[in-house]
Amino acid sequence: MNASRAWRGAAAGAAAAVLGAGAGELVAAVVAPTSSPFAVIGGALIDVAPSWAKDAAIAWFGTSDKIALLTAIGIVLLILGAAAGICEARRPRVGVVVFVAVGISVGGLALTREDAGSLALVPSVLAGAAGAIALRMLARTRPGTGADGAGQPSRRAFLAWTIGTAAVGVVMAVAGGLGRAGAAAATTVRAALKLPRPVTPAPPIPASASLDVAGITPVVTPNPDFYRIDTALVVPSVDPSTWRLRIHGMVAQEVTLTWDELLALPLVESVTTLSCVSNEVGGDLIGNAVWLGYPIRELLQRAVPDADADMVLSASVDGFTAGTPLEALTDGRAALLAIGMNGEPLPPEHGFPVRMVVPGLYGYVSATKWVTDLEVTRFDRATAYWTARGWSDRGPIKLESRIDVPRQGRAVPAGDAVIAGVAWLPGTGVSGVEVQVDDGDWHGAELATAISDDTWVQWRRPWKAESGNHRIRCRAISRDGTTQTDTVAAPAPDGASGWHTITVQVS
C-alpha cells in the first residue's frame, strides 16, 4: 500500500471517529446523559486510576483535570480511528469491524457503571455504528488504486467529504453537550427554585472579617470561584421531585426523606470552610461558604443508630461514597445535609439538590454531593471510594495557613509592603498566625475577626521590604495551642502539611 493511500485511510478513520463520537454525545444527551462514550470511558478510567494518578492529575491540571482527561480520551479515539482507517484502506471491512467492536465494548462498559440507566448501551453502540458507516462511505470516496488515476476532482471530493464528516461530528458533540446541560432537571428545576428561609440563620458576617488587602482571598468564596473536585465527568442531574434520602443499616428505624419533607424542616445556616485532601500546602482546593441545610444529627436521631456503629457511609447517585465517623455527625458540630450555598440552591456541580458538609473533615470523607443514601455501619465493615484507593479512612483537616499576598515569584517594590493570607483549622479555629522573613524572628500577624471556628480567618503583617530576594514563611496556631507543623507531608494519604513558603524579589 502506498503512503498516500495510508494517509487517506488515516484521515478517513479519524474523521469517522469524530463523527461517531459526536453521534454518541448527541444520542446520549437524548436517551442516557451519563452514558455518552466519553463519560463512560472517562468514568471508568477515573475509577481504575491509582491514587497517585489522581494526585498527579490534580497537581498538573488542578480543577481542569476533567478537561485534560477528556482531551486525552479524544486523542486516543482519534488515533484508534486513524489506525482503523489504515486497516480499512488495506483490507476493506477490517476498519469497519474495529469501529463496531469499539462501540460494543464501550457500550458494555457503560452497563457496568453505577449510574447506568436501561439505555446505557445505546449511545456507544450507535456511535460505533455511525463511525463504521462513515468510514465505509469515506473509503468509497477515496481515489482509486492508480496513484493519480482518479485525478484532482476525486481527491478534492475526498478531502471535502472527510472534513465535512468531522465537522458534522463536532456539531453533534457540541449540540449534545449543550442539550444535556440545558435539558438537565438540575438546570431547569433549579432555576425556578426558591429556598426556604433558615429558622436559625448564620449571624451576619462582620465587616471586620475582611482585611483591606489588595489580592487577599475573599473570606466567603463566591460560588463560581469555589473549587470543584469529584469523580463525575458528567454532572449528575437529580430531579428534586424524585430525590429521596434513605437512612438504613445499623439503625433501629429506617428513615426516608423526600425533598418536600426536607424543605419543611427547620433549616439552619452555618459558615464552613471545605478543603480537599489533595490540597497542597499553599494550594487553592479550599473554599468557604454559607451553607443552608438540616443537621444530619437530627435525622440520625430519628433512625437511632446501634451502639456499636461508628461510621456513616454516604453515597451519591453516581456511586461515589464517603465514610464519615458517626461521632462527627452527632457531636453537635454543624454537620449539614445542605441544600443552599451562599444564598442559592446548590450549583449542579456542587451537589444539587442535596449534599453533605461536615466542619473539620476533608471532603473525601464527608462532603458527598448528590447524596441519596446514608448507611450506618462500621469502619471495619465498610470501605469508601477513596479509602479503597489507599487514602486514610479518617480525614480530619490539618491546621494550615497560606500566603496570598505577595504572590510567589512576584516582583515587590521596595518600601512599605504587606504579607497577608488565610489560616484554618475548621472545628477548632485559629488563634494566631506567625510570619518569618528569611532567617529572621517569627512575628505575630494581625488576625481578622473569625466568622466562626469552622471557617478560615484572614491575617496580615506589614513588612518593610528591602531590595533583594526574600523567603517568606507562615505558620498558624490553633485555638487549642498547637503550632502548625513544619513536617512536610504530601497530600496522600491524609492531607499535606508543612509551612507555606514563598520567595519574592524586591526592587
Residue 433 CA, chain-centre distance (Å), reads 30
**Of ligand MTE, Mo ion, none, which one sits near residue 368, judging by CB under 5 to 8 A according to partner kind?**
ligand MTE
Single out the residue of 227, 243, 391, 499 in contact with ligand MTE (rule: CB under 6 A). Answer: 227
Q: What is the DSSP letter of 351?
A: T
Closest CB 217 distance from ligand MTE, rounded Å = 15
Closest CB 356 distance from ligand MTE, rounded Å = 8
The nearer residue to Mo ion, 234 or 361, going by C-beta atoms, is: 361
The grid coordinates of residue 355 equal 449534599
The grid coordinates of residue 212 equal 483591606
Chain positions 222 to 251 lying near Mo ion, rule: CB under 5 A, are 229
Single out the residue of 65, 230, 269, 375 in contact with ligand MTE (rule: CB under 6 A). Answer: 230
**Of ligand MTE, Mo ion, none, which one sits near residue 461, judging by CB under 5 to 8 A according to partner kind?**
none
The grid coordinates of residue 66 equal 476533567
In this chain, which residue has its C-beta nearest to ligand MTE?
Answer: 363
Query: Please, which residues have CB within 8 angstroms of residue 482's CB and are 6 or more apart in sequence?
Result: 399
Closest CB 211 distance from ligand MTE, rounded Å = 24
Closest CB 427 distance from ligand MTE, rounded Å = 16
Chain positions 340 to 359 lying near ligand MTE, rule: CB under 6 A, are 350
Chain positions 364 to 423 lying near Mo ion, rule: CB under 5 A, are 364
Q: Is 320 in the site for ligand MTE (CB under 6 A)?
A: yes
Helix spans in 62-120 (H): 65-90, 94-112
Q: Residue 403 is which amino acid? A: I
Single out the residue of 19, 184, 276, 448 in contact with ligand MTE (rule: CB under 6 A). Answer: 276
Helix spans in 116-235 (H): 121-141, 151-183, 185-192
**Of ligand MTE, Mo ion, none, which one sits near residue 320, judging by CB under 5 to 8 A according to partner kind?**
ligand MTE
Query: Please, which residues have CB within 8 angstroms of residue 296's CB and are 6 or more apart in sequence?
Result: 312, 329, 335, 336, 337, 356, 358, 374
Chain positions 165 to 224 lying near ligand MTE, rule: CB under 6 A, are none
Q: Is 291 in the site for ligand MTE (CB under 6 A)?
A: no
Judged on CB neighbours under 10 Å (0-12, 13-18, 19+), 195 is middle
For the residues of 267-316, what is the DSSP string, one character each? -EEEEEEEE-TTPPTT---EEEEEEEEEEHHHHHHHH-B-TT--EEEEEE
Q: Is cis: bond before 406, omega within 30 of 0? A: yes
The nearer residue to Mo ion, 364 or 424, going by C-beta atoms, is: 364
Single out the residue of 232, 276, 290, 418 in contact with Mo ion (rule: CB under 5 A). Answer: 276
The nearer residue to ligand MTE, 108 or 347, going by C-beta atoms, is: 347
**What are the DSSP E strand ranges found in 84-198?**
none
The nearer residue to Mo ion, 9 or 287, going by C-beta atoms, is: 287
The nearer residue to Mo ion, 15 or 397, going by C-beta atoms, is: 397
Closest CB 63 distance from ligand MTE, rounded Å = 9
The nearer residue to Mo ion, 184 or 361, going by C-beta atoms, is: 361
Applying CB under 6 A, what is the total number of residues that bind ligand MTE? 19
Nearest alpha carbon to residue 315 among 249, 263, 223: 249
Single out the residue of 363, 421, 426, 491 in contact with Mo ion (rule: CB under 5 A). Answer: 363
Residue 203 CB: number of other CB atoms within 10 A?
10
CB 489 within 8 A of CB 55: no
Q: Residue 370 is which amino acid? A: W
Nearest alpha carbon to residue 183 among 291, 30, 19, 28: 30
Single out the residue of 272, 324, 368, 387 in contact with ligand MTE (rule: CB under 6 A). Answer: 368
Q: Are β-strands 468-478 and 430-437 bridged in parallel, bridged antiparallel, or unpaired?
A: antiparallel
The Cα–Cα gap between 443 and 434 comes to 5
Closest CB 347 distance from Mo ion, rounded Å = 17
**Of Mo ion, ligand MTE, none, which one sits near residue 226, judging by CB under 5 to 8 A according to partner kind?**
ligand MTE
**Of ligand MTE, Mo ion, none, which one sits near residue 231, judging by CB under 5 to 8 A according to partner kind?**
ligand MTE
Q: Is 391 in the site for ligand MTE (CB under 6 A)?
A: no
Q: Is 231 in the site for ligand MTE (CB under 6 A)?
A: yes
Q: Is 328 in the site for ligand MTE (CB under 6 A)?
A: no
Q: Is cis: bond before 353, omega within 30 of 0? A: yes
N-to-C CA span, the chain: 65
Residue 145: phi and psi, rounded to 5, are -65, -40
Rounded to whole angstroms, what are the CA distances from 265 to 120, 257, 303?
Answer: 36, 11, 16
Q: Is 226 in the site for ligand MTE (CB under 6 A)?
A: yes
Closest CB 98 distance from ligand MTE, rounded Å = 33
The Cα–Cα gap between 447 and 425 comes to 14
Chain positions 84 to 113 lying near Mo ion, rule: CB under 5 A, are none
Single out the residue of 161, 259, 364, 459 in contact with ligand MTE (rule: CB under 6 A). Answer: 364
Single out the residue of 32, 358, 367, 433 in contact with ligand MTE (rule: CB under 6 A). Answer: 367
Question: What radius of gyration do the chain's Cα atoms show?
Answer: 27
Catalog residues that contact ligand MTE under the rule CB under 6 A.
226-232, 274, 276, 316, 318, 320, 350, 363-364, 367-370
Catalog residues that contact Mo ion under the rule CB under 5 A.
229, 276, 363-364
